[in-house]
A and B are shown apart, each in its own frame.
Chain A
C-alpha cells in the first residue's frame, strides 16, 4: 500500500508533505508537554489544518472530476453547526452553563432534536449522515439531469446562499445571525486552555494526514483513473458502459463528508459558528485555495489552503488594506500564468507559453466546458 503511494509520480512530494505534517504533529505534542509553540500559534496551525482538509475535499471533485462546487461551505457548515450543538450540549451537561443564544431564542430547555448530541460519537454520526444525505440528494438530482460545468457551480452557489439566508433567520432556530458561541468545554477539557488548543490542533493535523492518505489511495487507484476519464470525456465513458452518475455522486458524497469533518474540526478552534460560514465568498475562496495550490494535485490543495490562509491571518492583521489586493493579484496570476498553481513554479515556463498560444476562442460545447 504505502509503497504504491510513494511509487507513483509526485510521490516524493506526497511523502514530504506527510513528513511535514508529522513534524507539525510532533511540535504540537511538545506543546502538550509544555515546551512547544504558544497556544495562539497552535490554534492557528489547527485552523490551517482544518482549511487544508476542506480544500482537499474540493480538489477531489474539482481536480479529479472537473466538477466545481461553489457551495462546499454548505457541508463545512453542517459539520460546524452539529459540532457547535455538541459543544453546547456537552458544556451544558458538564458545567451547567446555559448557552446564551437560548436566552434570546427564549428557550427554556433544549429542543427535542438536540437530544443526545452531547455524546460525541452520536454527534459525529449525525453530522456525517446529514452531510451525506444532502450531498446524495443534490448530487444525484443534478448529475441525473446532466447539470454540469458553470451551471453546477452557479446552482451550488445559489444553494449555499439560500442556506445562508435561511440560517440568518432567528426563527430557523440555530441562533440566527449570532449563530452559536461560548463553548466552554470540549472532551472534558476547558476551551481556550493551551492543552485544549493543542489537542484540537493535533486532531486536525492527524485527520488531515489520514484524509490525505485516504484520498490519495482513492485517486491513485482504479477509481481515480475513471474519475480522470470522466473529467476528460464523460460521454465517451458512458458509451463504454460506465454509469458515470453513480461515480460522480459517490465522489461528491465522499467530498461532502470530508468537508463536514473539516467543519467539525474548525468550529471549536474559532469558538463561533454563524451563517457567515455559508457565505458564497467563503465557498469561492475554497476554490481559490485549490487553484492556487494546484488543481488535481491533492498535495497542491493542501499547500494552497495553508499558504493562502496563513497569508490571510497575517495580513488581515498586519496590513488589512493590502490583503484583498494581494489575494486578487494572486488569483489572476494563477489563472493566467500558472494554471496548475504553485506546481507550475517548479516547471519551466515554456509549456505555459505553448498552452497560452493554443488557447484560441473555445466552442460552447458543454462536454468541453471542463476545468
Chain B
C-alpha cells in the first residue's frame, strides 16, 4: 500500500489554478523525483502534503490512514511527514546541534533526556557531515551547510515520508555530489522520499521514478530515461 496517495487534488490562488486535478501515488522504499518548469506546481504539491495549503478539491491520504487534507500541519508532521523547504529554513539564533535537537524532539514537552537528544543530534550532524560545526550558530552557516543542516533537522523526526524541496538549489557541483550521496543513503524500505528539483542530472542520479508536472497536471510518469525520451516533456522543457 502506498505511503502517500494524492487523489485528484486541485489548488487555486484567486483565479489562477496552481494544481489541476492531480493524482499521484508514492510507495515506501522509493525515491520519487518531481520535476517540471517554473510554475508547474511542484512546491504547491508539497505545500498540500505538509498541510500548509488546503486544496480546493480532492484528498491526500498518508499511509492509508490519515486524511492529510483535514489534518493540521502539526498532526501531519507528527504522523511522520517531514519537509525540507525550498528556501533553507533553519533557526539562525540556535546552534547547529540545537537546531537538530529541535528536530529530534518534535514535541513541546520533553520526550527524551537532554543528553540522549544531543547524542542523536550529533550523530545526525555527523551523517550530513557537519559534526565539527555542531556548536556554531546556524545563522553563520553557508548556503550549502544550511541545506544539509535542514536535512539533518528533518531526519531528526525519523520520517516515513520525506519531502525534499530543491535540496541542491544553489549548490556547487561537488556539494551536489555530496548531497546526492546523502539522499541515496536515506533510502529505506519503510520510507518514501519525494525530491522536487530542477536539476535533471541530480534527479537522474537519485530518483527511482520521476513525475513531470506541467501547469498543475501530470505530464509524464516513469523512468528518467523515459522522461528524456518523451516528446511532450521535451517540448515543455525546450519550448517550440
The answer to A–B direct touch (Cβ < 8 A) is yes
Which residues in A have some Cβ–Cβ distance to B below 8 Å? Answer: 222-223, 225-226, 228-229, 231-233, 235-244, 246-247
Which residues in B have some Cβ–Cβ distance to A below 8 Å? Answer: 50-52, 73-74, 76-78, 82-83, 85, 89-94, 98, 101-103, 106-108, 110, 114, 153-154, 156-157
Residues A226 and B82 in contact in the complex (CB < 8 Å), given A236-B91, A239-B50, A239-B77: no
Q: Is the beta-carbon distance between A240 and B89 smaller than 8 angstroms?
A: no
3 closest Cβ pairs, A-B complex: A241-B106, A241-B77, A228-B93
7 chain-A/chain-B pairs, Cβ below 8 angstroms: A235-B85, A239-B73, A240-B103, A241-B77, A241-B78, A242-B77, A242-B107
Q: Is the beta-carbon distance between A240 and B157 smaller than 8 angstroms?
A: yes
Q: Is the beta-carbon distance between B52 and A226 smaller than 8 angstroms?
A: no
Q: Is the beta-carbon distance between A239 and B83 smaller than 8 angstroms?
A: yes
Q: Within the assembled complex, what's the spacing in Å between the Cα atoms of A70 and B110?
A: 32
**Nearest CB to that of B110 among chain A residues?**
A222
Chain A residues, Cβ within 8 Å of B114: 222
Q: Within the assembled complex, what's the spacing in Å between the Cα atoms of A226 and B78?
A: 17
Query: Given B74, B91, B156, which contacts A232 in the complex, CB threshold below 8 Å?
Result: B91
**Nearest CB to that of A237 among chain B residues?**
B102
Chain A residues, Cβ within 8 Å of B51: 239
Q: Is the beta-carbon distance between A225 and B102 smaller than 8 angstroms?
A: yes
A-B contact count (CB 8 A): 71
Q: Is the beta-carbon distance between B110 and A241 smaller than 8 angstroms?
A: no
Chain A residues, Cβ within 8 Å of B98: 225
Q: How far is the CB of A146 from chain B (nearest CB, A)?
A: 11
17 further A-B pairs in the complex, CB-CB below 8 A; given A225-B101, A228-B93, A242-B102? A226-B102, A229-B93, A229-B94, A229-B102, A235-B85, A235-B89, A238-B73, A239-B77, A239-B83, A240-B102, A240-B156, A240-B157, A241-B106, A242-B77, A242-B108, A244-B74, A247-B108
Chain B residues, Cβ within 8 Å of A223: 108
Q: Within the assembled complex, what's the spacing in Å between the Cα atoms of A247 and B93?
A: 18
Chain B residues, Cβ within 8 Å of A236: 85, 89-91
Q: Within the assembled complex, what's the spacing in Å between the Cα atoms of A233 and B73?
A: 14
Q: Is the beta-carbon distance between A232 and B77 smaller than 8 angstroms?
A: no
**Nearest CB to that of A365 among chain B residues?**
B87
Q: Within the assembled complex, what's the spacing in Å between the Cα atoms of A238 and B157?
A: 12
Q: Is the beta-carbon distance between B108 and A243 smaller than 8 angstroms?
A: yes
Q: How far is the CB of A284 from chain B (nearest CB, A)?
A: 26
Chain B residues, Cβ within 8 Å of A239: 50-52, 73, 76-77, 82-83
Residues A228 and B91 in contact in the complex (CB < 8 Å), given A239-B77, A239-B83, A241-B77: yes
Chain A residues, Cβ within 8 Å of B76: 239
**Nearest CB to that of A236 among chain B residues?**
B89
Chain B residues, Cβ within 8 Å of A240: 77, 82, 102-103, 106, 153-154, 156-157
Q: Within the assembled complex, what's the spacing in Å between the Cα atoms of A243 and B76?
A: 11
Chain B residues, Cβ within 8 Å of A225: 94, 98, 101-102
Chain B residues, Cβ within 8 Å of A233: 89-91
Chain B residues, Cβ within 8 Å of A241: 74, 77-78, 106-107, 157
**Nearest CB to that of A233 among chain B residues?**
B89
Q: How far is the CB of A4 from chain B (nearest CB, A)?
A: 12
**Nearest CB to that of B74 among chain A residues?**
A243
Q: Within the assembled complex, what's the spacing in Å between the Cα atoms of A235 and B84?
A: 11
Q: Is the beta-carbon distance between A229 and B91 smaller than 8 angstroms?
A: yes
Chain A residues, Cβ within 8 Å of B83: 239
Q: How far is the CB of B172 from chain A (nearest CB, A)?
A: 23
Count chain A CB atoms within 10 A of each CB in B93, B154, B156 and give the residue with the most: B93
Chain B residues, Cβ within 8 Å of A237: 91, 102
Q: Within the assembled complex, what's the spacing in Å between the Cα atoms of A111 and B44?
A: 59
Q: How far is the CB of B109 from chain A (nearest CB, A)?
A: 10
Residues A246 and B77 in contact in the complex (CB < 8 Å), given A240-B154, A240-B157: no
Q: Within the assembled complex, what's the spacing in Å between the Cα atoms of A243 and B74?
A: 6
Residues A242 and B74 in contact in the complex (CB < 8 Å), given A222-B110, A226-B102: yes
Residues A238 and B74 in contact in the complex (CB < 8 Å), given A226-B102, A246-B108: yes
Chain A residues, Cβ within 8 Å of B89: 233, 235-236
Q: Within the assembled complex, what's the spacing in Å between the Cα atoms of A232 and B89?
A: 9
Chain B residues, Cβ within 8 Å of A228: 91, 93-94
Count chain A CB atoms within 10 A of each CB in B50, B73, B94, B101 and give the residue with the most: B73
Q: How far is the CB of B230 from chain A (nearest CB, A)?
A: 33
Q: Within the assembled complex, what's the spacing in Å between the Cα atoms of A238 and B74?
A: 5
Q: Within the assembled complex, what's the spacing in Å between the Cα atoms of A242 and B76?
A: 11
Chain B residues, Cβ within 8 Å of A222: 110, 114
Q: How far is the CB of B167 from chain A (nearest CB, A)?
A: 15
Q: Within the assembled complex, what's the spacing in Å between the Cα atoms of A233 and B98?
A: 14
Count chain B CB atoms within 10 A of each CB in A228, A232, A239, A247 and give the residue with the most: A239
Q: How far is the CB of B62 from chain A (nearest CB, A)?
A: 14
Chain A residues, Cβ within 8 Å of B74: 238, 241-244
Residues A232 and B157 in contact in the complex (CB < 8 Å), given A225-B98, A242-B74, A242-B108: no
Chain B residues, Cβ within 8 Å of A243: 74, 108
Q: Within the assembled complex, what's the spacing in Å between the Cα atoms of A229 and B153?
A: 13
Q: Is the beta-carbon distance between A232 and B106 smaller than 8 angstroms?
A: no
Q: How far is the CB of A187 from chain B (nearest CB, A)?
A: 39
Q: Within the assembled complex, what's the spacing in Å between the Cα atoms of A247 and B52?
A: 19
Q: Is the beta-carbon distance between B93 and A232 smaller than 8 angstroms?
A: yes
Count chain B CB atoms within 10 A of each CB in A231, A240, A244 and give the residue with the most: A240
Q: Within the assembled complex, what's the spacing in Å between the Cα atoms of A60 and B91?
A: 18
Q: Within the assembled complex, what's the spacing in Å between the Cα atoms of A223 and B83?
A: 23
Q: How far is the CB of A173 from chain B (nearest CB, A)?
A: 40
Chain A residues, Cβ within 8 Å of B90: 233, 236
Chain B residues, Cβ within 8 Å of A231: 93
